[in-house]
Structure 1
Amino acid sequence: MKQIRVLLIEDHFLARMALHSVLSGHSQIRIIGEASDGEAGIAMYRQHRPDVVVLDLRLPRVSGFEVIIELRKEFPGARIVVLSNYRGSEDIYRAVRSGAMAYLTKDASGEELLNAIQNVDRGLRYLPHVALDRLAERMPSVELTPRESEVLACITQGRSNREIAEELRIAEKTVRIHVSSVLDKMGARDRTQATIYALQRGLIHLD
């Protein structure tokens, strides 16, 4: 079984030790580094290139939000799990919008954290119902046509317009029209934001 190489970025010593204890007890997890602030966390990522980062949002020197943005800018494939005390919709939204693939609160069980890490390692998002419920507060209801719903599903899978056209057997020009309509109806600036909104409202579901 593949071991998932994990980097912990958490400023509180006891919390970091607790995380280390919980995760290192699983044979599938290998902790390859620990950092107590955002700047050190970024440096350790550059050095070790972990499979998954487990990150607190409130960090000294460089905030967790800034860490996410910097890592995703420098390493677009960086896979980040946020573990935070903050439950507000704004924190969850900002973290996911910045590029985090999972958001858990610190009262999550060790089993749920492991599940999140495993999903993120496979390239999947992991947002528990409590996070989706908070995010849903930010968005009004949306009504899409059946075709727009199909296009949205493809968008959330990261497919290009050409790939969507091949999947749905329609012209690429038609896809562009549908994508534009979906973004407009959802009030989304881009495909990433449309994916977040779709998760918020249950328009799509994660496996």
Structure 2
Amino acid sequence: MKEIRVLLVEDHYLARMALHSVLSGHSQIRVVGEASDGEEGIVMYRSLQPDVAVVDLRLPRMSGFELITQLRQEFPKARIVVLSNYQGSEDIYRAVRSGAMAYLTKDASGEELVNAIQSVDRGLRYLPRIALDRLAERIPSVDLTPRESEVLACIAQGRSNREIADELHIAEKTVRIHVSSVLDKMGARDRTQATIFALQRGLIHLD
């Protein structure tokens, strides 16, 4: 079983120690670094290049939102789990828009955190029901064709246009047309927003 290398970015020492203890108790996960503020988190990520970063949003010197944005700019494939006390829809939305692939509140169980890390490491999003519920007011009505629904499911899995074309056995140009139609019908600015909308409305389900 693949070992998952994890970086913790959390300013509270006791919280960081608790996270380290929980994660180190899992045979598949190894905590390779701990940062106490956003700027240190950037430096350590560059040095360690972990499989997954677990990030708080309230950090000294650089907020979690800024940290996520910068990491994704430098490392487009960075896989980030947010673990925060913030529960507002705008906080969740901003975190996911910035590039986080999972969002948990700090009352989540250790088992759920491990599940989120494992999902994100596989390239999957992890948004529990409480996070999806907070985003409800952002969801527009939508009526997709069967083919558009298939394309949307592939989008949610993070697949490129070429990968979607191969999966559905259609031309890449046709995929671009479907993607454009899906975004337009859902009122989404990009693929991430379309995925959030689709998850909340139950149009797709990610295991």
Query: Is the TM value for this pair above 0.5?
Result: yes
Whether the 8 Å CA contact 2:3–2:29 is kept in 1: the answer is: yes
Q: Which residue of 1 aligns with 2:145?
A: 145
Q: Which residue of 1 aligns with 2:124?
A: 124
Per-residue deviation, 1:170: 4.1
SS in 2 for 1:137: helix
Q: Can you list the C-alpha shifts for 1:37-87, whole angstroms capped at 9, x where unaligned?
A: 000000000111111111100101100001101111101111111000011
SS in 2 for 1:81: strand
In 1, Cα distance between equivalents of 2:4 and 2:157: 23
Per-residue deviation, 1:166: 4.3
Q: Which residue of 2 aligns with 1:168?
A: 168
Whether the 8 Å CA contact 1:97–1:196 is kept in 2: the answer is: no
Map 1:1-207 → 2, pairs under 5 A: 1-207=1-207
In 2, Cα distance between equivalents of 1:28 and 1:170: 38
In 1, Cα distance between equivalents of 2:187 and 2:12: 38
Bigger Cα displacement from structure 2, 162-171 vs 151-160 = 162-171
Number of residue pairs aligned between Structure 1 and Structure 2: 207
Per-residue deviation, 1:102: 0.6
Bigger Cα displacement from structure 2, 80-89 vs 181-190 = 181-190
Bigger Cα displacement from structure 2, 64-73 vs 184-193 = 184-193
In 1, Cα distance between equivalents of 2:2 and 2:21: 20
Unaligned runs of 5+ in 2: none
Residue type matched to 2:155 in 1?
I
In 2, Cα distance between equivalents of 1:118 and 1:56: 18
In 1, Cα distance between equivalents of 2:158 and 2:16: 34
Whether the 8 Å CA contact 2:69–2:98 is kept in 1: the answer is: yes
Per-residue deviation, 1:139: 1.4
Q: TM-score if structure 1 supplies the norm length?
A: 0.93
Cα-Cα RMSD: 1.6
In 1, Cα distance between equivalents of 2:173 and 2:77: 29
Percent sequence identity is 86
The verdict on how the C-alpha distance between 1:29 and 1:172 changes in structure 2, with shifts beyond 3 A counting, is closer
Per-residue deviation, 1:172: 4.2
In 1, Cα distance between equivalents of 2:182 and 2:8: 37
SS in 2 for 1:144: coil
The verdict on how the C-alpha distance between 1:189 and 1:22 changes in structure 2, with shifts beyond 3 A counting, is same
The verdict on how the C-alpha distance between 1:144 and 1:48 changes in structure 2, with shifts beyond 3 A counting, is same
SS in 2 for 1:57: coil
Per-residue deviation, 1:156: 2.1
Per-residue deviation, 1:190: 1.9
